[in-house]
Chain A
């Protein structure tokens, strides 16, 4: 009797329920003779489900309480920040507190390396003066290269109207009171103008289609709520931005199905792969509501070609699904390739506008993530209507709207800013990639984004997700740099890492390189 071979981990999508299949399939071979196929399937399945049931029931019993001081109830400020279960146990016979099942899964400590890394940097951040041994953040795609341009603009353009004093209708009485939740019309107009500039003036954005949200994060969630019901799915080319898992899935109950792209294709999206993923989902009984693309892509930093975008639209039309195009890095392009927005594709087609929606934001191109400004831009009136109503949960703060309206209305400033910013990103990219090459580490050729997609597959051992995470761990704890491992981005090939470079200054590059060198040297395969 032979067992079926255990599936090659490389080809298997990283999905926990597949471990169940790994058990069942081999066992089918074990039961031989009459009815073997049926019994061989039923018995392991039954065992498997009983195991799940048993685990589910017993997962809810509280773990033993860690040694924490019990609260003196009179003093709130001494409330220990230990887990709630510890407090419960020290209280004796009070019943277990039930939070929702949504909350239970979210409140668990972040187990994705993406979030763990960010937390570690928060605890031990590098600072040239005060903490030179701290962890250097290369895991957050932020842009610090061009903030001085904005600072300069502010210095030259302070007006009382921004503050709200001066009683000219923009008074704080005006800006602090209730305003339309989806943003002031002045800002929508300025934003539409800005997006038009960013995307190369090949298409004009319409302020009436702009819905402002407090960041791209809620913008994505709003679209997820509007376009899909609980249990439905979106196809997402992988590797993809780890935050999609949170933004699109957490509270909506919507699933993301990765469509794997491979290094042999330069991680380009293949319509065939999309097709396969769609069909497989249908077989599973899962309803696909749309495709979520990021263009420029994160983490790879490539641009989708005009042809691919047309193909995507065809694909979506044939299956009657939506396209969400996250174009948040559209202003951070620096290569020779032309950026084409989904808006441009739709512009030339009269039909199918209703299925296209664009996400934008000010956190990347304009370096103001703290201000929380995002955009849902849709060609579908019903989606716009629903989105506007949903902005009551995530509106942009009005002082920020005021400031941004002033800034973005200054067209010459914006044009200058975009040009300079692109140039700076390009030169930082060149410097960083050259420095990595000096270590023998190569990246894909990117032409956009604030990061590079680095191939360290030769340095991991074993050639698997475990090997990749080992290397990630070494980089975090020995080299003290935080980078994002490909597995956090659902990359099917192990060994790829995203390194963000736009938070660095030129003189920090050698420091980073030296630190990486330590780890790279120790990981190089013996000659």
Chain B
């Protein structure tokens, strides 16, 4: 019967056969639980933001009118349930536009009529790919990049993703020469490039793009007359300087650019921690694309129940201001704890100020400077250290040895357990043959085996934030089903 299915149904476009998902499988078959399974695998491969739920819970409890399943809200039930216009509620679009403006410090304005819904940012990416490129055409994507881009942008659309190589030697900055080189390579292979996809703040790097890079990218795409898609899904997860600069701001400073080439992807999954709500947003400056994407939104509309709730929540300026500040603070604290504790055992990470993860440099733990060695190290970390972190190769990183570790999807205790495990592992691995010299790395501070780990964790307690949360369970039936990582 298999020959009865389409190519899409039976090919590997879903990407779940890659080694990357072995980590998920390992977690799902042996998930960590503080009391029931203290030796289980700790999930550090899922970029979820669970640090500020208490805020949202409080708001929902105090605003019963926003939920239609309350006495106060039920009057709205009928109109909400029956509304199926793909333009979405105007209140919802207004609220989202205002929120996006707020996150950008009110330095730009967004037109609510350009807000188009999609099935999460996943749906937004796919819809834009359908709108901007035909099968066989390509989008350029700077490496390292979010692994699911391969699936979301190419599986059903038939387009290709071509890497723009970024290197650790300059902290993975996107350079003009890398852009040009990727574009020329495509030309030589007779592949038509239709656009450039930027992720700002970056996943997995956790850095924000500076004005120069954004302007260069804008000029590059304008000169080549190709599209510029900016995935700004982590825009409100910035917790320290430098400030986040949106492409929307760059456009204002470059009035001669062709706006019709600019499209922004957004979602509430990361900034607010609502992935289950499936609120994806496409904001395009191109009328045809807005029109087309809006029609395609029939394939992934946001539930009106959710639109109604979000419209209320995002109109509460007082709540939003508090939330944004508090969420940043908590992310920042969590980040600095993680980075400090990693540094304590000589693990450096890329200097970052945004996102829900760190980009760890484990190059000196590799047996040799190859991707095979990276995978070997990763298997050890997953199976023996029992941490699901994500290997750089799954992000198409051009150099082995980098790993992404997520820090916002667990409570304080779990993070401590994870850090203990990392400390133990690094110290033990001193006995293994490791690479002594890593290109461009600083000589690391080495501790002796009689490390006083307890001291560091007492300090940890002081720095840790409340509230205490339970680790996410994984009551999922299928190990292969997971969302944006």
Q: Which residues of A contact B (CB under 8 A)?
A: 73-77, 79, 81-84, 87-88, 91, 94-104, 106-107, 122, 142, 144, 147, 150-151, 154-155, 158, 162-165, 171-173, 175-182, 185, 214-215, 217-218, 221, 225-230, 232, 246-247, 250-252, 289, 320-322, 354-355, 363, 367-372, 380, 382-383, 386, 388-390, 392-400, 403
Contact = CB atoms under 8 A, between A and B. Distances in A.
A154 B77 CA distance: 9
B478 A102 contact: no
Given A226-B5, A251-B156, A369 B131 contact: no
A165 B46 CA distance: 24
Nearest to A352: B1
Given A397-B276, A399-B277, A106 B6 contact: no
B111 A79 contact: yes
Contacts of A79: 111, 114, 285
A181 B57 contact: no
A94 B301 contact: no
A251 B296 contact: yes
A342 B64 CA distance: 43
A177 B252 contact: no
A321 B157 CA distance: 24
B132 A178 contact: no
A7 to B, nearest CB: 33
Interface stretch (B122-130, B207-215, B361-369, B386-394): B122-130
A106 B56 contact: no
B53 A172 contact: yes
Q: Which of B108, B122, B291 has the most CB of A within 10 A?
A: B291
Contacts of A289: 4, 6
B298 interface: yes
Given A144-B82, A230-B135, A396-B278, 6 more contacts: A142-B84, A147-B82, A354-B1, A372-B304, A392-B119, A403-B68
A82 B287 contact: yes
Contact of B260 (A87, A158, A246): A87
Nearest to B84: A369
B309 interface: yes
B452 interface: no
24 contacts: A81-B287, A87-B287, A99-B286, A100-B133, A102-B131, A103-B130, A106-B295, A144-B82, A163-B60, A175-B276, A177-B275, A178-B482, A214-B303, A217-B298, A229-B8, A246-B295, A367-B81, A371-B304, A382-B1, A392-B122, A393-B123, A393-B300, A400-B303, A403-B69
Interface stretch (B231-239, B315-323, B372-380, B469-477): B469-477
Contact of B303 (A97, A122, A392, A396): A396
Given A87-B287, A178-B482, A225 B6 contact: yes
Contacts of B109: 75-77
B57 A171 contact: yes
Contacts of B484: 178
Given A97-B261, A227-B6, A382-B5, A81 B113 contact: yes
Contacts of A172: 53, 56-57, 60
A156 B328 CA distance: 40
Interface stretch (B9-17, B330-338, B343-351): B9-17
A176 B287 contact: no
Contact of B299 (A150, A163, A393): A393
Interface string B100-120: 000000001111011000011
B134 interface: yes
Nearest to B274: A176
A383 B156 CA distance: 15
B477 A107 contact: no
A84 B291 CA distance: 10
Contact of A83 (B130, B156, B287): B287
A367 B278 CA distance: 21
Contacts of A225: 6, 8-9, 156
B311 to A, nearest CB: 13
A181 B273 CA distance: 16
A394 B119 contact: yes
A165 B252 contact: no
B299 A380 contact: no
Given A107-B288, A176-B277, A394-B300, A165 B82 contact: no
A286 to B, nearest CB: 15
Contact of A370 (B126, B289, B303): B303
B69 A163 contact: yes
B423 to A, nearest CB: 28
A228 B156 CA distance: 12
B175 interface: no
A367 B77 CA distance: 11
Given A73-B255, A100-B130, A386-B9, A178 B48 contact: yes
B27 to A, nearest CB: 13
Contact of A221 (B1, B122, B248, B299): B299
Contacts of B306: 397, 399-400
Given A155-B71, A178-B483, A221-B299, A393 B53 contact: no
B472 A394 contact: no
A382 B258 contact: no
Which 8 residue pairs across A and B have the least CB separation, nearest first?
A370-B304, A398-B276, A397-B303, A73-B255, A386-B9, A369-B84, A226-B9, A107-B292
Contacts of B131: 99-100, 102-103
A403 B50 CA distance: 22
A73 B484 CA distance: 35
A397 B481 contact: no
Given A178-B46, A226-B5, A397 B57 contact: no
A418 B275 CA distance: 33
A151 B78 contact: yes
Contacts of B194: 98, 100
A467 to B, nearest CB: 30
Contacts of A382: 1-2, 5, 9-10
B478 A180 contact: yes
B1 to A, nearest CB: 5
Given A214-B278, A393-B122, A229 B7 contact: yes
A166 to B, nearest CB: 9
B225 interface: yes
B80 interface: yes
A386 B278 contact: no
Given A369-B84, A370-B304, A177 B50 contact: yes
B418 interface: no
A380 B1 contact: yes
Nearest to A172: B57
A368 B111 CA distance: 29
A370 B81 contact: yes
Contacts of A371: 81, 303-305
B288 A84 contact: yes
Nearest to B254: A73
B70 interface: yes
Contacts of A155: 71, 74
Contacts of B57: 164-165, 171-173
B358 interface: no
B302 interface: yes
Given A81-B287, A217-B298, A147 B278 contact: no
B469 A173 contact: yes
Which of A172, A390, A392, A400 gathers the greatest number of chain B CB atoms within 10 Å? A392
Interface in B237-258: 248, 252, 255, 258
Given A172-B60, A393-B122, A399-B306, A214 B301 contact: yes
B481 to A, nearest CB: 5
Contacts of A173: 50, 53, 57, 469
A150 B275 CA distance: 27
B305 A383 contact: no
A185 B82 contact: no
Contact of B132 (A103, A122, A185): A103
A372 B481 CA distance: 21
A151 B130 contact: no
A107 B9 contact: no
Given A79-B111, A355-B4, A403-B69, A215 B301 contact: yes
